[in-house]
Each structure stands twice: as C-alpha cells, then as structure tokens.
Amino acid sequence: MAYKDSHTDTAAPSPASVMPMLNPELLDLAKRRVDALIEAQKEFIAAFEGIHHEMFDRARAEAELTSEFVGKLSAVRSVPDATTTYREWANRELELLAEDGRNLFANGEKIMQASRRLFGRNGA
C-alpha cells in the first residue's frame, strides 16, 4: 500500500475566500491598534536614544572634570591650594549629580508617557 501525504491533498484557502469572513470594523480596529503600537515603539526608541546621549555626555563631562582636577591638583604647591582645588571639584561634582537627578526624573516621565499611551485605553 502506497503512503499518501494528507497535506498535499488539501489546498490552502485563497485570500478571496478568507476576506468575506473578516469584519471590516475588526480589520480597522486591528490596524489602529498596530499603528498605536508602532507609534509607542517609536516613542520608546526616541526616549532611550535621548537617555543614551545624555549618559554619554555625562560620562564625557565626568572625564573632563577628572582630567581638569588632576591637572590642577598636580600644580598645587600648598595645602590651602589643594583644599581649594578639592572644594571646587566637589562643588562641580554636586552640580553634575543634581543635573543627573533632574535628567533621571525627566527621562522617567518620557518613558511613563509612552507607556501610558501604549497601555492606555484604545492606544490613545
């Protein structure tokens, strides 16, 4: 007895025969949901790109501050000069940390807004 493959006997339904089964409102709803998902994804990507650039700029600022500090510290000749150099470095470091905090909250807000649109009712 010859082996008969059951998968080759059935033909796939043609797109024309499937289309009447799909409700136009359902298709429109699905399209709107996919569009909303794509827009949310674009927002997430833009937010994370911005965060990446800010973090890179922050690392560069930290490297510049450290290089400047080491240069100044190597040039000091007295304890008061070293104290002044340390104080200047610490003040600038605190400014950078405060800026980091502001950026953290701003970036968190961007991500939350994109999340709210993504998981909000009807993608809006």
**Do 96 and 62 contact (CB within 8 A), yes or no?**
yes
Q: Choose the weakest-confidence range: 21-25, 79-83, 119-123.
A: 119-123
* Mean pLDDT estimate for the chain: 82
Tell me the Cα Rg of the chain.
30
Q: What is the tens place of the pLDDT at every residue in 27-53?
A: 888 888 888 888 888 888 988 998 899
Q: How far apart are the C-alpha atoms of 50 and 107, rounded to whole Å?
A: 8
For every residue of 81-95, DSSP letters joined together read: HHHHHHHHHHHHHHH
pLDDT in the model for residue 9: 54
Tokens for 75, please give them.
Answer: 């040039």
* CA distances from residue 85 to 8, 78, 93 in whole angstroms, order as listed: 82, 11, 12
pTM over 0.85: no
Q: How far apart are the C-alpha atoms of 66 and 88, rounded to whole Å?
A: 12
Q: At CA 21, angle to CA 16 and CA 22, rounded to 5?
A: 95
